[in-house]
Structure 1
Amino acid sequence: MPPVFSVTSEQLGVWIVAFLWPFIRMLALISTAPVFSEKAVPRSAKVGLAVLLSIAIAPTLGPLPAVPLVSAAGFWILVQQILIGAAIGFSMRLVFAIVQAAGEYAGLQMGLSFASFFDPTSGGNTMVLARLLNVMAVLIFLAIDGHLMLIMTLAESFRTLPISDAPLAAGGWFLLVSAGGQVISGGLMLALPLIAALLTLNLSMGILNRVSPQFSIFAVGFPITLLAGMGMLQMLMQYIAPFMEPRFAAGFAAILEFLSGLRS
């Protein structure tokens, strides 16, 4: 008589927990991380990717806390996985915010503040120039296999910060908030050459207007500023990749530092 395969409710609960908890962390990251969280990516593809990653990583996690899924401690672990996964994705999104900030600063100086459209990713109006630079940052991110490095960092997060019911330390959240200040400084650093050139041009036209009042500076000022801005932007394009690659590396290092800071 062939052996009968039987599964107890306790074994089934252990299997569900071993799959569900890493799945929640991965799904939270995919829902917030750049590239993966784009509106163009179907939801079924996001869930399917999280399922495949969970199946691949779950056997390597080791022993999990003996906490029932339907309990206060089990619910707290689920909340923790959501917070950790979303924070990892948000940390990498801060790097892309640097490029968007640079596009906003440069667009204002070029007179393109009116050239905006609805961005489904951010849920608001975004300047065309900021969107263009963001697309370039995404292409650079994919060219250096940043999406694969992000998945590898996620897998490493289960070793740095394993699944447990212990409370998360506040030091990690402080590091995440502190990283937000780099958005403004990094955006200004990237857009500074263009802003400086356009400021010099505006000062020159202001002096010209004072020297020759009959010269209609308002009629020709905008076309000159726009053309000069486009020329400077073309010169700036070749420096975006060397500027962004160290920022991506620093973003991955910041994620590991953030996870280490969450240890209680």
Structure 2
Amino acid sequence: MRIDISFLPALAAAFVLAFARIGAMVMLLPGFGEQNIPVRVKLSIALLLTLIILPLHRAAYQLDLQSMAALMVLMVHEIVIGIVLGATARVTLSALQVAGSVIAQQMGLGFVQSIDPTQGQQGVLIGNFLTMLGVTLLFATDSHHLVISALNDSYKVFAPGEIMGSGDVAALATRAFSAAFRIGLQLSAPFLVFGLVFNIGLGVLARLMPQMQVYFVGVPLSIFVGFLIFGIVIVAMMGTFLDYFIGVMHQMMPLR
């Protein structure tokens, strides 16, 4: 009995190339690619996704095993695609940090910082809370399945071996950053209005009562009212963010 194993080198090369795309994306994804998650866990997730997705797109990899240079170029191409996809999903989460920074400034808590457990660096307290809440919401609503679906559909948008248009990538990055900043400001809009009205009121009060220490009255009142507004609008804020994230993921999928 003779067993044909001539397909194994080509299958191994296709697995490595698919792992390069998927691994680069997983290392940047919200929830999966956080710094507090062990590297072995990230690699295990990337390997599992590769084992699931590779059989669906094995025919997309037309490989020339006689040329190592061509394989290296294709691997770099796959890594760049993974970075673009993962960074796009990561930028959507940064909208919460933008909103948290604006909210903290309007409440008078801009100087209160803590370590963001997802990034391992300092950030404003409100922004860190919103980021952790956003990641929790994505998993609680199974929205992370859309990320996996976008990864699967990326083989239709960015086929292996095809030259990726730099203009398309630049347009995608521009839209992602501008949308994240716009959504961040929209989420913090109630606090911008509150900060404007509150500071105008304090200015009028200072002119009417010069002997009054407006600062010592205004800071605790600003924090109290700010948290009150925060508790009222947080449900609508996170619902808006979730709709925004789902919309971005759908934009990364080709029309069926």
Structure 2-normalised TM-score? 0.91
Displaced runs of 4 or more, over 3 A:
4-8, 120-124
State the distance in 2 between where 1:123 and 1:52 align: 26
In 1, the alpha carbon distance for the partners of 2:145 and 2:66 equals 31
Superposed, which structure 2 residues align to 1:194-213 within 5 Å?
194-213=191-210
| 1:34-75 Cα deviation digits (max 9, x unpaired) | 000012322112111211221222222142222238622111
Q: Equivalences for 1:52-67 in 2 at 5 Å?
A: 52-63=48-59, 64-67=61-64
- Classify the secondary structure of the residue corresponding to 1:108: helix
The alpha carbon displacement at 1:137 in A equals 1.1
2:47 matched residue in structure 1: 51
- Counterpart mapping for 1:1-264 below 5 A: 3-5=1-3, 7-8=5-6, 11-63=7-59, 64-68=61-65, 71-119=68-116, 121-164=118-161, 166-179=162-175, 180-256=177-253
Q: How many Å separate the matches in 2 of 1:217 and 1:62?
A: 69
Q: Indicate the percent of aligned positions where both proteins have the same amino acid.
A: 25
- Ranges in structure 2 where 5+ consecutive residues have no aligned partner: none
Pairwise CA RMSD: 2.0
Deviations 1:174-209 (A, max 9, x none): 222222112221111110111211221111011001
- The Cα shift of 1:143 comes to 2.2
* Deviations, residues 4-62 of structure 1 (Å, cap 9, x unaligned): 54645xx3320211211111111111100100001232211211121122122222214
CA distance in 1, matches of 2:182, 2:4: 60
Aligned-partner residue type, residue 96 of structure 1: L
Paired positions, count: 253
Asked if structure 1 preserves the Cα contact closer than 8 Å seen for 2:113 and 2:122, the reply is: yes
* CA displacement at 1:104 relative to structure 2: 0.3
How far apart are residue 138 of structure 1 and its match? 1.2
Q: CA–CA distance in 2 between the matches of 1:218 and 1:114?
A: 16
What is the one-letter code of the residue matched to 2:28? T
Tell which deviates more after alignment, 147-156 or 59-68: 59-68
SS in 2 for 1:256: coil
Distance 1:137 1:4 in 2: 55
Partners in 2 of 1:195 and 1:159 — Cα distance?
Answer: 42
Structure 1 residue 99 displacement after superposition: 1.2
Residues 136, 56 of structure 1: alpha-carbon distance in 2 compared, 3 angstrom cutoff: same
Displacement, 1:215? 0.8
Bigger drift between 182-191 and 172-181 goes to 172-181
Do the aligned partners of residues 111 and 67 (structure 1) sit closer, same or farther apart at CA in structure 2, a change above 3 Å counting?
A: same
Classify 1:69/1:235 alpha carbon distance in 2 versus 1 (closer, same or farther; 3 Å): farther
